[in-house]
Amino acid sequence: MKAYRNLIAAAAMVGLIGTGAMLHSQLEVQPAYAQRTPAGLTDSSIPDVAERVVDSVVNISTAKAVRGGPAESDPFFTDENSPWYGKEPSQKKLASKGSGVIISSQGRVLTNSHVVSGADDITVTLQDGSEHSATIVGQDPRADLAVLQLKGKLPALKPLPFGDSNSLRLGEVVLAVGDPFGVGKSVTMGIVSAKGRSGMGIEDYEDFIQTDAAINPGNSGGALVNLKGELVGVNTAIASKSGGYAGIGFAIPSNMVKPIMDMLLKDGKVVRGYLGVTIQTVTSALATEHKLASARGVYIGGVDPSGPAAKAGLSEGDIVTAFNGVEVKSGDVLRNTIAMIRPGTTVDLEVVRNNVGKKVIKAKLGDLESALKAQAAQQPRRRGR
């Protein structure tokens, strides 16, 4: 279940961290982890937090039936003289493992979409060792999140409270909890290395917390918690040359997780707003090249002629400097913000236009999925050869 992508400016690989079907019998020896006792912490505070949150993290095992081979090209199944003619190839079960976080006492579990996507069977193992089948309540592949519902009679569950990921500080100590390599529940410690990581090419919508807490395949969907024992992120991917821990892990921040989770719980899907523009963060070089009136904000490089932006009067070359009264610092932030607003909502965009100056434009957001379907329908169909 590995899907690695090149990082643009580094000789490293980014990969989702659900485990594949097989576990190597010999695991790589990980680099020694320096012991740290951050200022203001007692020797017992980290163990207290770890013991408090570990019961809220679960192991997730999935199985997916895959065909043993392509019947359309196998003479055993296509030759009329074969005793296997017309029959389906045998099926195999592809197994994988991941992690999840208990979010309600009624058996709701939060995890990554890639951990459970396409699974025929989902089994969740709780801290007491009991195994429970689970169904998918809803999933959002664009942000790589999913919510499960456990079946059957459940023991007393311990939901993990949400924390405010926006309040995280660089260097703040965090704990990663999950099931790396399927060896069992594990807790690792690290710090917040960076915030707001985007443009990684891992998911459609990215605003990652970067941490050096040890994260490995199998940690996908597990918890990143602060020292209050609150969920501040869902561990999702790593940057690594080997596919194992290299000190760079990525977690979806809780403030991005929470609204997506709420929509999945309510509707089983995520409905995103659509403005209908192509955008780019304004840099000094871009401002100089295009002789822009402002060297900050988000540059509009194109406008969908039938989209909400065009109807509102936005034009190519406009610079969006604020959204609903809040300063816009990057294109990724603007894109993520619009995606989290329901279609039909009217928003205010503060725009700087060359030779005109600053003005506020009101735009009524459309529906992203509807727009994508309309665009796909307009694409010319290729004739088969």
Active site residue 132: no
Residues forming a β-bridge with 63? 95, 121
Residues 6+ apart with CB under 8 A from 168: 174, 192, 195, 209, 226, 232, 253
Residues 6+ apart with CB under 8 A from 99: 57, 58, 59, 60, 111, 115, 177, 178, 179, 218, 219, 220, 221, 222, 223, 235
Cα gap 234→57, rounded to integer Å: 11
Active site residue 24: no
Local confidence band at 285 (pLDDT 50, 70, 90 cut-offs): confident
Q: Which of 165, 186, 220, 240 is catalytic?
A: 220
Cα gap 137→378, rounded to integer Å: 32
Residues 6+ apart with CB under 8 A from 117: 139, 141, 146
Pairing of strands 319-323, 298-303: antiparallel
Cα gap 218→18, rounded to integer Å: 5
Q: What percent of the chain has pLDDT over 70?
A: 79
pLDDT at 11: 32
DSSP string, 101-161: EE--TTSEEEE-HHHHTT-SEEEEE-TTS-EEEEEEEEEETTTTEEEEEE-S------PPP
pLDDT at 385: 37
Which two three-digit tokens encode residue 117?
């996507």
Q: Which of 114, 186, 240, 254 is catalytic?
A: 114
**pLDDT greater than 70 at residue 346:** yes
Domains defined along the chain, listed by start: 1-20+44-66+94-269 (2.40.10.120), 273-374 (2.30.42.10)
- Say what the alpha-carbon torsion angle 316, 321, 325, 330 is, to the nearest 10 degrees: 100
Active site residue 220: yes
Arithmetic mean of pLDDT, 138-143: 95
pLDDT at 86: 56
100-133 pLDDT, tens digit per residue, is 999 999 999 999 999 999 999 999 999 999 999 9
Cα gap 170→166, rounded to integer Å: 11
pLDDT at 5: 31
The model's pTM is 0.78
Burial of 288 (0-12, 13-18, 19+ CB in 10 A): exposed
CB 118 within 8 A of CB 139: no
- Tell me the three state secondary structure of residue 11: coil
Cα gap 347→311, rounded to integer Å: 13
Sign of CA dihedral 199, 200, 203, 205: negative
25-69 pLDDT, tens digit per residue, is 333 333 333 334 454 455 558 999 999 999 999 999 999 876 655
Residues 6+ apart with CB under 8 A from 247: 31, 212
Nearest CA-CA partner of 188 in 170, 210, 211, 214: 214
Q: Which of 140, 144, 304, 332 is catalytic?
A: 144
The lowest-confidence range among 36-40, 59-63, 90-94, 341-345 is 36-40
Local confidence band at 247 (pLDDT 50, 70, 90 cut-offs): confident
Rg (CA), the chain: 24
Arithmetic mean of pLDDT, 238-267: 89
